[in-house]
C-alpha cells in the first residue's frame, strides 16, 4: 500500500520508536520504498542512523555497569542490562566472522557472544563459565544481525553458582541456545589475592 510522504514519515517514526534496531533495508521493505527514501525521511525527521540509535538506547538502558569483565571484552554490543536478571546484546555478522568459502558465521563467534553476555549479566567482581550446554539451531550468514538474550534462572551466593540461559535470534528465528553454569565471586580482591 503506497502512502503519502507525511503518512509514511509518521509511521516510520512510530516504527523506529517501537523497534529502534530495525535497519534501513528492513524499513524500505516494510514501506515499499527505496533505502534512499528511508534515509532521506530519517534525515528530515532528525532520526539518527542505526548505529547511533543503538548507542542512544544503550546509554538510556545501561544504568548499571557490567562488573565481571571490561565492557570492551563483551562480544557484541550490550543494549540492555539488569544485573542478575537479564541482558541483551547485538552482533552484526561481518566478513571477519564468517568462513570465506561460504559466508557462514563461525560458531565460536555465536558462542562468544552468548558466553560473554552470560558473564556480563552477573552482579559480581568475577564470573567464570563452569559448564555450558549449547545448541546451534541454524546457520548464520554474512550481514545477519544476531540478538542474544540472557536471563538468570537460578542464583546461589552460598555455592557461588548462577545458571544463565541465553537464546540468540536472527529476526524471530532462533539460531543458538545455551545454558551456562557460572561461577561467581563477590570477594575478588583488587590485587588478585584471596
Mean pLDDT of 135-158: 92
70 in any annotated domain: yes
Q: Name the phi and psi angles at 95, rounded to 5.
A: -60, -30
What domain range is 20 assigned to? 5-50
Sequence-distant (6+) residues with CB within 8 A of 85 are 121, 151, 152
Residues 89 and 143 grouped into a single domain = yes
Answer yes or no: do 43 and 122 share one domain: no
Residue tagged 537464546 (cell numbers): 167
Q: How far is 105 from 37, CA to CA, in rounded Å?
A: 31
| Residue 56 domain-assigned (yes or no) | no
Q: Are 121 and 37 contained in the same domain?
A: no
Tell me whether residue 190 is in a domain: no
Alpha helices (H) in 19-102, listed in sequence order: 24-31, 35-45, 50-61
pLDDT tens sequence across 74-120: 889 888 888 899 999 999 999 999 999 999 999 999 999 999 999 99
HSE (CB half, 13 Å, CA atoms) of 162?
Answer: 28
Give the start-end residues of each E strand in the chain: 77-82, 86-92, 126-136, 145-156, 161-170, 173-185
Task: Indicate the average pLDDT of the chain.
Answer: 85
Indicate whether 121 belongs to any domain: yes
Q: What are phi and psi of 141, to 5 degrees?
A: -115, 165
The CATH number given to whatever domain includes residue 103 is: 3.10.129.10
Cα separation, 106 vs 28, whole angstroms? 29
Do 166 and 85 fall within a single domain?
yes
pLDDT digits over 47-78, tens only?
878 767 666 655 555 545 777 777 678 889 88
CB 41 within 8 Å of CB 12: yes
**The pLDDT value given to residue 142:** 96
Whether 45 and 102 map to the same domain: the answer is no
Q: Is there a single domain that holds both residue 42 and residue 70?
A: no
Look at residues 147, 142, 144 and name the one whose alpha carbon lies nearest to residue 176.
147
Name the domain count of the chain.
2
Residue 34 pLDDT exceeds 80: yes
80 and 42 within one domain: no
Same domain, 91 and 140: yes
- 45 and 136 in a single domain? The answer is no
Q: Let me know if residue 191 belongs to a domain.
A: no
Q: What is the mean pLDDT of residues 132-139?
A: 96
Amino acid at each position: 500500500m503506497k502512502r503519502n510522504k507525511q503518512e509514511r514519515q509518521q509511521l516510520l517514526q512510530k516504527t523506529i520508536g517501537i523497534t529502534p534496531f530495525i535497519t534501513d533495508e528492513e524499513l524500505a521493505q516494510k514501506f515499499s520504498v527505496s533505502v534512499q527514501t528511508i534515509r532521506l525521511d530519517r534525515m528530515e525527521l532528525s532520526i539518527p542512523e542505526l548505529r547511533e540509535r543503538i548507542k542512544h538506547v544503550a546509554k538510556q538502558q545501561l544504568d548499571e555497569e557490567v562488573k565481571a569483565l571490561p565492557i570492551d571484552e563483551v562480544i557484541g554490543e550490550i543494549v540492555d542490562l539488569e544485573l542478575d536478571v537479564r541482558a541483551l546484546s547485538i552482533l552484526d555478522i561481518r566478513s571477519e566472522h564468517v568462513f570465506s568459502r561460504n559466508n557462514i558465521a563461525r560458531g565460536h563467534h555465536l558462542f562468544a557472544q552468548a558466553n560473554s553476555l552470560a558473564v556480563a549479566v552477573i552482579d559480581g567482581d568475577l564470573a567464570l563459565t563452569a559448564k555450558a550446554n549449547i545448541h546451534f539451531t541454524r546457520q548464520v550468514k554474512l550481514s545477519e544481525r544476531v540478538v542474544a538474550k540472557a536471563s538468570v534462572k537460578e542464583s546461589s551466593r552460598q555455592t557461588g553458582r548462577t545458571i544463565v540461559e541465553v537464546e540468540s535470534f536472527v529476526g524471530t528465528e532462533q539460531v543458538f541456545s545455551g545454558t551456562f553454569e557460572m561461577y561467581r565471586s563477590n570477594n575478588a580482591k583488587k590485587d588478585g589475592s584471596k
